[in-house]
Structure 1
Amino acid sequence: MSQSKKRSNTSWKPWLSLSTGLALLTAAVSFCVAYAATSSPFGTVPMRLLRTYGGVTTEDLAKLEIWRLATAQLIHAKQAHMMLNAIRLLLLGNLLERRVGRTVTLLLWLVAGGAATAISPLLVAWPFDVGTGASQANFAFAGSALVLRLTGQLRGTVAWPVIALALLPGLTLDLWHVGHPKLGHVAGLIFGVVSGGLLMRPERL
């Protein structure tokens, strides 16, 4: 292992990372939206209001309201779900960011997570046809981390539990509530796996 890689590993500060910032921003925005909509930061936001606060629909994208690809990932109907998503962003995002860097992690969140969030309301009936939440980005992160871990590009025993935390609860809830994995989750995972393949590189001695 090179001296530069050793320095990189020892100087890593997760509390200063992009992923930590995304997790905190998600919590702050979602709590604020819940308070504005329900007068309680822990309130459940009615689905019909989520679009008003930045959720995304196909109609919005047709109007080129591309900014919703970011804002939609920050808001949640249920704040307990949001807190679980924020924890996943914190853990999985930092694991991935340490390997691929801040810029790539941001692009994964914005492009893969945003695209999967936009896909998530397809074939969904009103008023649930609004894409929101950090779940899609978490699935994208998990897909990338899974490929990198399986190919030896991402190391450490903590990787498997963190990847499992990102994938298993979401898939279990999908099967419990709707009987199949949700479209947005599948899209996020596929985008993540493809991204993970593109991110592979030979290890330097």
Structure 2
Amino acid sequence: MLSRQFPYVTFILCISTFIVSLAVNDTISGTLAGQIKVPELEPYGGYTLEHLLNFELWRLLVSQFIHVKQFHMFYNVLSLFVLGCLLETRMSRFVFVSIWFLAGSAGTFVSTFTVPAPWNLGTGGSQGILALAAAGVVLYASGQLRTKITAFVLGWVIFPAFVLDIIYAENHLPKPGHIVSFALGLLIALFYVRKSVTR
């Protein structure tokens, strides 16, 4: 019974993000939290369309582990952990990791077209996390996970992401990559909920 309730996928994703991001940061800067620049992440998983056209598909996964700012990474890991504890065993591990990877990859890919080179490398875990948060919104709205803690966690994850986008973006709009990931997370979760209801 305990094995079914433990969020194994969440644990693996959190540990992988924590270790890979810090290791890459240490390799580049010489310290675990030293300052690095986006272009320096290319050898370690950051990507653009050109990398994908060269079939460097491993970057779709690894790019979601590496971060330019390690404080941001810590926040993402914590967000992923609390979301995973709520969602993973409720919606099945396969659906959970599919939303994280597919919607996260799509958002990261879109983000590569929104800034000029060489700063346009796709990196970071925010897109996958926002996709999972969107799935949580669907479960909450459908009544499958309607608790106060769920509402708090969703607000804690979603609100800062979009507010910071609006504050710091030049056009004061949410980042396209964040919007795409969130929308895909909603769509995949809606399909899952509809399918589970019709069984």
Identity of aligned residues (%): 34
Are residue 97 (structure 1) and residue 88 (structure 2) matched? yes
Residue 97 of structure 1 deviates from its aligned partner by: 0.4
**Do 1:19 and 1:94's aligned partners in 2 also have CA atoms closer than 8 Å?**
yes
Say whether residues 1:170 and 2:165 are aligned partners.
no
Aligned partner of 1:196 among 189, 193, 196: 189
CA deviations 1:24-59 (Å, max 9, x no partner) are: 110110000000000011122211111111012111
For residues 3-44 of structure 1, the C-alpha deviation after alignment (integer angstroms, 9 at most, x for no partner) is xxxx57x96234xx2112211110110000000000011122
Alpha carbons 2:131, 2:184 under 8 Å: kept: yes
Which residue matches 1:55?
46
Q: Structure 1 segments of 4 or more deviating over 6 A?
A: none
Work out whether residues 6 and 89 of structure 2, in 8 Å CA contact, stay in contact via their aligned partners in 1.
no
TM-superposed CA distance for 1:158, in Å, is: 1.1
TM-score normalised to structure 2 length: 0.92
- Name which of 170, 174, 179 aligns with 1:186: 179
State the distance in 1 between where 2:136 and 2:102 align. 16
SS at structure 2 position matched to 1:22: helix
Q: How far apart are the structure 2 equivalents of 1:53 and 1:59?
A: 15
Counterpart amino acid of 1:92? L
Alignment: residue pair count: 195
Which residue identity does 1:107 align to in structure 2? S
Deviation per CA, 1:81-117, whole angstroms, max 9, x where unpaired?
0000000110112211021111211111221111211
The answer to whether the 8 Å contact 1:72/1:131 transfers is yes
SS at match of 1:52: helix
Q: 1:53-202 alignment to 2 at 5 Å?
A: 53-178=44-169, 179-200=172-193, 201-202=196-197
Give the letter for the 2:179 counterpart: V
1:20 aligns with 2:11: yes
RMSD, aligned α-carbons: 1.8
Between stretches 109-118 and 67-76, larger displacement belongs to: 109-118
> 1:3 corresponds to which residue?
none
For 1:156 and 1:21, the matched residues in 2 are separated by 26
